[in-house]
Structure 1
Amino acid sequence: MQQFYRRSTSKISRSRPLTSRGPISAAIAGLAALVATTGAHAQSDETSLPSIPDYFEEKAASLGGSVSQAPNETISTFTGKLSYNVTDILIPGNGGMDLVVGRSYNSIDDPMATIATWSDYEYSPAGLGWTMHMGRVIRGTNKALCSSSWTVASANPVLELPDGSRQVFYEQPFVDNNAWMTKDFWRAQCVGGTFTVYSPDGRSYRMTKVGHSFGAVASKQTAYYPERITDRNGNWFDLSYQFLGNGVLAMSQVATSDGRSVNFEYTDSKLSKIVDVSNSREWKYTVSAGSGSRNYLTDVKRPDGQSWKYSYSATPGIGSLSRVTYPGGGSIDYAYSHVDFLAGTPRHRQSTVVASKTSKTDAAGTLSGTWTYAYEVASDELPVTTSSGQVSHSYGVPPAVRSQVNVTTVTDPKGNATEHYHMGYHSVRQSPTAVGVYMGSSSSVENVLLGYQDFIISSQIDVVSQNYTTNSFNPTARVLRLNNHYRAGENFYITKSNFDGYGNPGTVVEKATNNSDRTYTRTTSLTYDINTSKWLLHQVASQKVSGEGQMHLTTWLRDSNGNVLSETAAGVMSTATYHPTGDLASKTNALGQATSYSNYLRGIAQKEEQPESVTILRTVDNAGNVTSETNGRGKTTSYTYDNLNRVTSIAHPVGAVTSVAWTPTTRTVQRGAMTDVVTMDGLGRTVRRQVSAPGETSVWVNYTRNILGELVHQSYPNGLMGTGYDYDALGRIVATITQNYSGSNLGSEIKLTNYGGLRSFSQGYGGRASSDFYRAYGDPDKRERVRLAAGELAPGNSLIVKADVSTPRNLLGQINSVSMGGKTRTYVYNNQYFLVSKTDPEIGITNFGRDAIGNMTSKSVGSGPATTYTYDNRNRLKSISYPSSEDSAVPNAAGVIHAYDKNDNLLSSVNGSVSRSYTYDDNDKLSSESLAVAGASQTLQYAYDTNEALSSVTYPSGNQVNYQPDAFGRARAALPYISSIKYHPNGVASEIKYANGTVSTMSLYSNQLPWEMKLAKGTNRFIHYFNAYDTAARLILVNDAGGSTYYRSYSYDKLDRIVSEVSVKGQRNYAYDNVGNLTSIQTPTGLNTYAYDASTGVLDGVTGELYRAFDYDLAGNVISNGYNTFGHDRANNMRCVDCGTAAQKLQNYDASNMRVQTLDNNGSTLYMHSKQGLLMQTLDANTRKEHIYLGDRLVAERRINVN
């Protein structure tokens, strides 16, 4: 499919003004630019230099610009380094302080091909390249951890995070208690000789454990580890350590303030086991000797006995990860090469980079695909200007001169290539602090341009930049300022500005445009609640969103620990209180309705007290799994789990237990005799689902995926044929193929979709086409439809519009109006964005009253009186009060009263003399429903099998219909009326045998549409016909095999409306207006014309063979058709026909507006509908009729003479 795309290039500039060596304020507010000055190298102490990462040595996870095609995987598009971040253990905790034990991998430079040597790499008990800790600080051994006052940061402490990435702590000398800050706003302070690190989310790390030293003798480094980690609410981890036999310090235990703990075990200075003490779970690690006499992690065995396996056999790339094998048998192989990112400089050297990766779904490589990574190194400088000592570089995407930037090209298995652009050393020779900046990317379908804002964080000299220039630069924090996406005919912009000193933007402007007739802009203004005592830097205090001529304001108030005490959204306030752990204690909405939470375990409330005296009780195990929950009715559902916290059984209050079994490639759910198996490939993607039971034909669906994980084919049940899909490079569906075989691009219909210009254009069979127009802002993948135009394809792929529906939206995406063919419905919202009125062409304005949280409290049409509504404290509809009928001759609608149980099941509804009541089994399935009207009470009763499938319905007469459900829950009979039922795999009945010997059969096409229908008794066929369809699955022919009685043929317009019908009686033609109203029917004997009011659009009348003239009440109900009159109450129920005449017919309704009684000159007829709306029984003075259903399909009627 052709894609229309015009590359857009935008430029931004980066400026480097001269620095001042003067003081920097503690708040660093107002500093918004990276500052630099020319000059000679300042004096420095390089004690910590070996631990400070070079631009080209930094870990993949910490740099902007990376790709990931597998869970936990990251490949840096700047350094080419591979990293993995894997969580092995997660035990939830109170206050959200989860105990997470993870391991991180970062590929190394090949000691055989680069300047790296085996001795450069610190020994890790988890294996070379892997780290397992909860953060640490590294500093030169001959420097006290708290020493400061260095001009150049080469002696500063270095923070290493659990993912292996490192950040330098830069001094903030004018802050009390020796303070440092990193470029990501991590802070450190020395108080009383204790070095404490603070994360921007309020956690503190007391680095009091002195660890091992490592590195060259002349530049030894010492690691310092946290012995206590505390969150903002005071929850804590205590960490214990041990020195291994080789002198390396390693974690031995983590214990928490709420009783969780994990232990670490080692053998021969290698990690061998981690034990979750409270839950008796073990993760086992195999660390084996390999290249360079180093140890490598080769196997991680989970508590379920399955393993992740790792290999390190790459050449080049000795010592780096070469294969990851999933527990399910899938694998990813990595190949490496070498690139000199500093070519042409005195520091040139080879770096080891990922050159390709190949994913396989199994060992045999049944499905595989390769991604390649190609690197180009900048040799020229970007355009540069210097003014008043300020150095500026400008760039665009794609770059105007390719040699001015580092380019990494990633090509996926489908051949889609994306180029990623970074500033290399030669790109910014005069300002090397910008080396590595991710500028954006370019592909055949999208360009992305990024820009940044820098903040000086220290008056020290940036140590890394000093390695590349004689100029001196202050260290800066860098945050994203600009994020622009350019796609075919559409651009998307996100611009952030008015930053505070912590990188928080005060203004965010989002814009999308199709560069023609549509541009959408939304502005968000933000303020922040900066809590420096807890080091909570990014808490939003207010958010004002403006656009579409509207504004939406949300404010938050927090306590001193950062917990939200109140939230006010568009004037609607909710409040909360907390336990000392930070767990939610209560929440109260704007109506004052409160829910309380208590007895927490593992961060989960075991007791929840809700309005209307509803209490929810839970039991939670030590792993944080809910093992039982007792609902408001006191009914308990129980759960069990395996050692990976996956559900293994569910025991409902009644019925069969559901069991779940897991293997690396299957999940098997069993309840009763039914087994449901989901099969996954070796990479964990679903490829098949099969449901089976003894004596039943299994039902299965296959899901075919490409190596990228995209679903390219889904089969019809039990069929090789199905629906196929194709995707563009952004993962959007561009082709949908019906009646398609997997691996083929052929089918009965191919629907093609193009994207661009803030719309999608689809074309299908017979020239049918449509355009969806979207509104978006800064995110190109968050879209809301604002218009749909449908019709037919014209030459040149333009659209001849036959129907055009416009749906403009307000700021929150709510629909403001719906317009089509000159008719418009409008919707109005109040300041809280609750719908308060709508205007329809047919009836004018309808007004809605709302309470403080949006419940509808009243409804009135035009100037008419209001219907009022009340609610209980759970916001369940409690009562409805209707005004008198518009026509005084029409009976008034009775008020409605609802009652509920403590699980929100409706127990009763009463309106006037009509009442309905319901009972439920312990699983909340309806077990009976009763209707009382006119002094008579009728009851339906329901029974279920142990799998909760409907097994019988007992009618008010006592007559019972037995469905004999199979293990899949399908009715196999409806005794005594239907003796047996068979099914197609898609659930459609294939054969129904009636008790009188009549048999109904239905055959299907391969695309699951009905083909042959028969209704026969023995050799006597009552009905026998065949259906035919066009490639759009529209019925075009009913061919009567037994004659011509049921013969029909149909044709359609481009909007799929029937325009002609041919039968044995002749041809009927249909015509429509521009809003879809039927305007005429031409029959073999004449023409019927339908006329509509030009203003309101209501049907005025029908002329021709059929005559009708319609009048309406204020609510739009028909009150006259030219022959009869009709009266409606304010519930819009038709209460009488020919009201007030001798021939009048009166009708009564229940609270759900289902008819329950008709009164006319022939007497009274009672109607009983089921709760789901099926007419189950009619009863008059002479006859009871019971309607028998198969699902919602009427299959039999039982008549009983009651006289």
Structure 2
Amino acid sequence: MKATISALALSVLAAFFSPANAASTTNYNYTAGGLLASVDGPRLDVTDVTTFEYDASGNISSVIDAIGQRTQYSNYNKFGLPELVTEPNGRTATLSYTEEGWLATVNWAGKIRRHEYNESGDLTKTTYPGGSWVQYLYDPARRLVGQDDSSGKRIRFALDSMGNRVQSTILNVAGTAAEASTTTKFDELGRAISETDRNGRVTKFEYDVVGNLVSITSPKGYKTQFTYDTLNRRITSTDALGGLTRYEYNAADQITKVVDAKGSQTTYVYDYNGNITKLVSADTGTTTRTFDEAANLIKSVDARGVTTEFVYDRLNRLFQKKYPASPSENMTFGYYTQSGSNIGRLALTSGNYGTTGYEHDRHSNLQVEWYKPANQTTTYSRQYAYNANNQLLSEQTSNLKTSYERNAAGDVIAIKVDIDGTSQYIAQEITYRGAGRVDSMQLGNGTSAQNYYDKDLRLERQRTGTATVANSVDANGNVVSITASSLGIGNTSYKYDALDRVIEERAGNILKSYAWDPVGNRTQRLTKNASTGALIDTQALGYSPNSNLLTSINGAPVASDPAGNLLQGKGQRYTYDSAGRLNAVYSAANVKIAEFKYNHLGQRIEKRVLANSSPEITYYEYGQQGQLTTLRKVDTTGKKIGQSSWVWFDGRPLAQVNFKYDASGTAKTHILYLQNDHLDTPRRAVGDNGSTMWRWTSDAFGVGDPDNAIGIDSAGNIVTDLPLRFPGQIADQHTALHYNHFRDYDPDTGRYIQSDPVGLAGGINTYGYAYGNPLKYVDPDGRYAFLVPLFAATIRITATDLLIGGSIGTGAYGANVIYSNAKRPPTGSIPINESPWSGDHGKIKDSLDLGGSDSVYIDPDGNVWPQHPDGSWSNEGPASSYTGSGKPSGRRGKDRDKSRGCD
């Protein structure tokens, strides 16, 4: 039996899609007994057939993918459920069930997870292989009213008669007092009309007669309003300053045009599969894309005329990325076919940057990654070790090992480094609050560190030794003052407009004021003497009237290429590679100063400084969450010059380990302990004797040179280079920019020099940084800004874990309310694999009990939107609430769990 199903009835939608795009066809073959025998995928260039085999009882026994990888199911019980699963890599899962047929245990290659239930079949407890557990509490109506875990996180819910959650409370570790709470009021239709935090800050929501959200009023009284067409599609959004954004749609409910408050337009053309085949942007010009029958992007042409071609294997895995006009920039990807636990995983990639390889253990954990630079003989590698719960225990390079000691619940309680055989603790006695937030620790130099939170778990004060930093926030969560005189960086106050953009800051006797256009382009910065009002400096930024392109700085013209990449600035000239990445910087005299290379993940991996009398090369290494872990400097012969490595904990850098090599190659090492601000930006570095050795004072946008070599440690070391800036940023002295993963940030103008690679999904202004509020938002990879998790006490719970994450702003909850079980995710939502939360895809799907083929989107506010079997969508709350740190792991192509549909 064979059935042919086209993707869409194109005869109906022909008016909206290019006639060049024919329907894709998937063929389904069945056995004589009506069982699915094979699925022949839509691609015509390869054989993409998946085959199914069955036992004598009709139970599926094997699934064989298009390249012959076999997954086996056996030992079926009386419920028709398999008790043994064998993956292509040989890893087995043994499953047991209760008498009722509920899953009781899962034994993955010796790691056992156990589930317990009440008489009604509600999951009451999950115990993980390492002994940690999560427990669920229900009321007599079987509604979830609480959750505890073995690390002391406790949460309780109060529900009304309709089941609406009217109060969510985070308890302390003892369970005796509230640490944070949120109270929500609902109308008679079950729609949230207000949300109040424990400090009395109220966010209000209004709806039209059919339930569309028509306004959100922030705690400070600023209102954002929305209108809809007769199909309940949002067609306008008006901000608190009257800025109007318009949206237009086609008959398939796809956005075809966005017009921002400045009048700049972005238009989209789609194929039958919903892929954007043509994008016309006022910022980046015209981009065309071609997709194959399986919706794989196979060709892209940007506004510069640069063509990129993509080649995929039979499993639709990227095999080649080619640039016909610049073949030296091509990349290739290889996958394991016979290597035990690695079967099916990415084995290596190669390009002009060199070669990178990966190895995984039998539990899918990344075990080894290595990098061999092009035209070099040295290979740099990093090894990882994990506990029974697959939590990181250590990472190790040739000269540095970082170990994480954990308690029975899996929480990190101490961090130790081993430098060439000598061990030293970086932090010990780490304690936590009830919400899982760090309370205190003892640093390796003998200094104690303590965090203090307000009634809604907002970080309000940090103390390290005798140095204290205190933050005050307004009702909207904007930082209005930072008191840090004990750090030697002074006290600063801030003011904001109705869109929460910084409009004024005062540090000592310096007053800076900022002006913005309707879409977030900064137009002016005035620097004055705060006492006399005397003007010290003026910066005026000019823009194209129909786009966000920067055209002048203080009247001096600057140019961009057709794709919107800035070509000049700071007296220098920039050039870009075929992927649109900054690949070289030239002096005003057209002398090449430095050049850069990037790997397959878009990470800068090599920098060559050419203008010095002694040219040098810097190699960059990153951790599994995309954080910078090591910078290695060598000369052109490969001889070591220096190395800086970082110890990270919970998304923040704790210490920097410096290696300085002499002529014989012997290293002198020393450790710096970092004190970070509320953004996790390093502001002070302290030596082993407690002396301040480095300090960075900046304005709100990162303008300010660090104070180097201001102190010495007990061995006489000084600090001349600590490049970490805002989260995800690395200061580059040769470009005077901050490298920010996918883009480069200019702190002087407060904007990126390239347009956002994800387009409007990253915000209405594709050059803006942190929505004009870098004191509140961070953008670790240069694509999506989000709220600092420590700002919030938004509470989230799921059926499989206790998840307490950071608030993503007053608009997020409104979206959560109005779009719950809506027809579709809101405008600007993107697939999770294209978002910073891609690396958390498997965890999020597991938490929501989703299958590998279920679609998951992330909306502009950072909420998770899964699609259900009936085609409906629901808002499942902030993505930040599904990870322990509240921060995204980033798009990690090499370690996403493909078994969970994370491709």
* Interval containing the TM-score (normalised by the shorter chain): 0.5 to 0.7
Within the alignment, does 1:304 sit opposite 2:43 as a pair? yes
Where 1:731 maps in the other structure, the secondary structure is: coil
Within the alignment, does 1:356 sit opposite 2:84 as a pair? yes
- 1:597 to partner: Cα distance: 0.7
Whether contact under 8 Å (2:463, 2:469) holds in the other structure is yes
Partner of 1:897: 540
Q: Pick from 386, 389, 394 the counterpart of residue 730 of structure 1.
A: 389
Where 1:882 maps in the other structure, the secondary structure is: strand
Question: What do residues 762-817 of structure 1 show as CA deviations (whole Å, max 9, x unaligned)?
Answer: 22213322148475656xxxx544545321xxxxxxxxx62333333446665312
In 1, Cα distance between the equivalents of 2:203 and 2:657? 49
Within the alignment, does 1:920 sit opposite 2:560 as a pair? yes
Partner of 1:409: 105
Within the alignment, does 1:647 sit opposite 2:647 as a pair? no
Where 1:893 maps in the other structure, the secondary structure is: strand
Whether contact under 8 Å (1:869, 1:878) holds in the other structure is yes
- Please, which runs of 5 or more residues in structure 1 have no aligned partner? 1-124, 128-249, 262-275, 339-349, 361-366, 379-404, 424-433, 456-477, 532-536, 740-746, 792-800, 932-938, 971-984, 1016-1022, 1042-1046, 1058-1069, 1080-1096, 1103-1149, 1154-1203
Partner of 1:702: 357
In 2, Cα distance between the equivalents of 1:960 and 1:492? 59
Partner of 2:468: 824
Partner of 1:789: 442
AA aligned to 2:30 is V
Where 2:309 maps in the other structure, the secondary structure is: strand
Where 1:351 maps in the other structure, the secondary structure is: coil
Seen in structure 2, the aligned counterparts of structure 1 residues 440 and 848 have a Cα distance that, compared at 3 Å, is same
Q: Pick from 554, 560, 566 the counterpart of residue 209 of structure 2.
A: 560
- 1:627 to partner: Cα distance: 1.4
In 1, Cα distance between the equivalents of 2:450 and 2:463? 5
Whether contact under 8 Å (2:26, 2:41) holds in the other structure is yes
Partner of 1:510: 170
In 2, Cα distance between the equivalents of 1:1056 and 1:632? 42
Partner of 1:909: 553
Where 1:280 maps in the other structure, the secondary structure is: coil
User: What does 1:400-549 correspond to in 2, within 5 Å?
Assistant: 408-413=104-109, 415-423=110-118, 434-443=119-128, 444-455=130-141, 478-486=142-150, 490-501=151-162, 503-513=163-173, 521-529=179-187, 531=189, 539-546=191-198
Seen in structure 2, the aligned counterparts of structure 1 residues 497 and 666 have a Cα distance that, compared at 3 Å, is same
AA aligned to 1:327 is A
- 1:873 to partner: Cα distance: 1.0
Seen in structure 2, the aligned counterparts of structure 1 residues 559 and 325 have a Cα distance that, compared at 3 Å, is farther
User: What does 1:997-1146 correspond to in 2, within 5 Å?
Assistant: 1038-1040=661-663, 1050=668, 1052=670, 1074=690, 1076=692
Report sequence identity in percent: 14
In 1, Cα distance between the equivalents of 2:66 and 2:310? 19
Where 1:508 maps in the other structure, the secondary structure is: strand
Q: Pick from 21, 24, 35 the counterpart of residue 281 of structure 1.
A: 24
User: What does 1:136-147 correspond to in 2, within 5 Å?
Assistant: none
User: What does 1:49-448 correspond to in 2, within 5 Å?
Assistant: 259=13, 279-289=22-32, 294-305=33-44, 306-307=47-48, 309-314=50-55, 318-338=57-77, 350-360=78-88, 367-375=89-97, 377=99, 408-413=104-109, 415-423=110-118, 434-443=119-128, 444-448=130-134
Q: Pick from 492, 513, 516 the counterpart of residue 846 of structure 1.
A: 492
Whether contact under 8 Å (2:492, 2:506) holds in the other structure is yes
Question: What do residues 174-207 of structure 1 show as CA deviations (whole Å, max 9, x unaligned)?
Answer: xxxxxxxxxxxxxxxxxxxxxxxxxxxxxxxxxx
Partner of 2:331: 676
Whether contact under 8 Å (1:907, 1:917) holds in the other structure is yes
Q: TM-score, normalised by structure 1?
A: 0.47
AA aligned to 2:528 is P
AA aligned to 1:661 is V
Partner of 1:1020: none
Whether contact under 8 Å (1:821, 1:1075) holds in the other structure is no
AA aligned to 2:401 is E
Whether contact under 8 Å (1:650, 1:657) holds in the other structure is yes
- 1:1151 to partner: Cα distance: 7.5
In 2, Cα distance between the equivalents of 1:886 and 1:690? 58
- 1:563 to partner: Cα distance: 1.8
Seen in structure 2, the aligned counterparts of structure 1 residues 903 and 522 have a Cα distance that, compared at 3 Å, is same
Whether contact under 8 Å (1:453, 1:479) holds in the other structure is yes
Seen in structure 2, the aligned counterparts of structure 1 residues 328 and 666 have a Cα distance that, compared at 3 Å, is farther
- 1:721 to partner: Cα distance: 6.0
- 1:623 to partner: Cα distance: 2.2
Question: What do residues 1128-1172 of structure 1 show as CA deviations (whole Å, max 9, x unaligned)?
Answer: xxxxxxxxxxxxxxxxxxxxxx9869xxxxxxxxxxxxxxxxxxx
In 2, Cα distance between the equivalents of 1:332 and 1:1024? 48
AA aligned to 1:860 is R
- Size of the aligned set, in residue pairs, is 649
Whether contact under 8 Å (2:283, 2:564) holds in the other structure is no
Where 2:475 maps in the other structure, the secondary structure is: coil
Whether contact under 8 Å (1:725, 1:736) holds in the other structure is yes
In 2, Cα distance between the equivalents of 1:617 and 1:1100? 53
AA aligned to 2:369 is Q
In 2, Cα distance between the equivalents of 1:507 and 1:964? 56
- 1:845 to partner: Cα distance: 4.2
Partner of 1:803: 447
In 2, Cα distance between the equivalents of 1:495 and 1:327? 48
User: What does 1:836-985 correspond to in 2, within 5 Å?
Assistant: 836-841=480-485, 842=488, 845-861=491-507, 866-884=511-529, 892-901=535-544, 902-910=546-554, 915-929=555-569, 959-961=589-591
Q: TM-score, normalised by structure 2?
A: 0.62
Whether contact under 8 Å (1:495, 1:510) holds in the other structure is yes
Seen in structure 2, the aligned counterparts of structure 1 residues 126 and 818 have a Cα distance that, compared at 3 Å, is farther
- 1:445 to partner: Cα distance: 2.3
Whether contact under 8 Å (1:641, 1:647) holds in the other structure is yes
Partner of 1:268: none
Seen in structure 2, the aligned counterparts of structure 1 residues 524 and 763 have a Cα distance that, compared at 3 Å, is same
Partner of 2:832: none
Whether contact under 8 Å (1:655, 1:947) holds in the other structure is no
Where 1:639 maps in the other structure, the secondary structure is: strand
Where 2:81 maps in the other structure, the secondary structure is: strand
- 1:286 to partner: Cα distance: 0.5
In 2, Cα distance between the equivalents of 1:634 and 1:1101? 47
Seen in structure 2, the aligned counterparts of structure 1 residues 729 and 586 have a Cα distance that, compared at 3 Å, is farther
Partner of 1:662: 312
In 2, Cα distance between the equivalents of 1:962 and 1:1028? 24
- 1:679 to partner: Cα distance: 3.5
AA aligned to 1:439 is T
Whether contact under 8 Å (2:558, 2:567) holds in the other structure is yes
Partner of 1:596: 246
Where 2:463 maps in the other structure, the secondary structure is: strand
Seen in structure 2, the aligned counterparts of structure 1 residues 580 and 678 have a Cα distance that, compared at 3 Å, is farther
User: What does 1:710-721 correspond to in 2, within 5 Å?
Assistant: 710-717=365-372
Segment of structure 1 superposing worse, 446-455 or 666-675: 446-455
Partner of 2:478: 834
Seen in structure 2, the aligned counterparts of structure 1 residues 720 and 805 have a Cα distance that, compared at 3 Å, is same
AA aligned to 1:700 is T
- 1:1024 to partner: Cα distance: 8.9
- 1:942 to partner: Cα distance: 5.2
- 1:412 to partner: Cα distance: 1.0
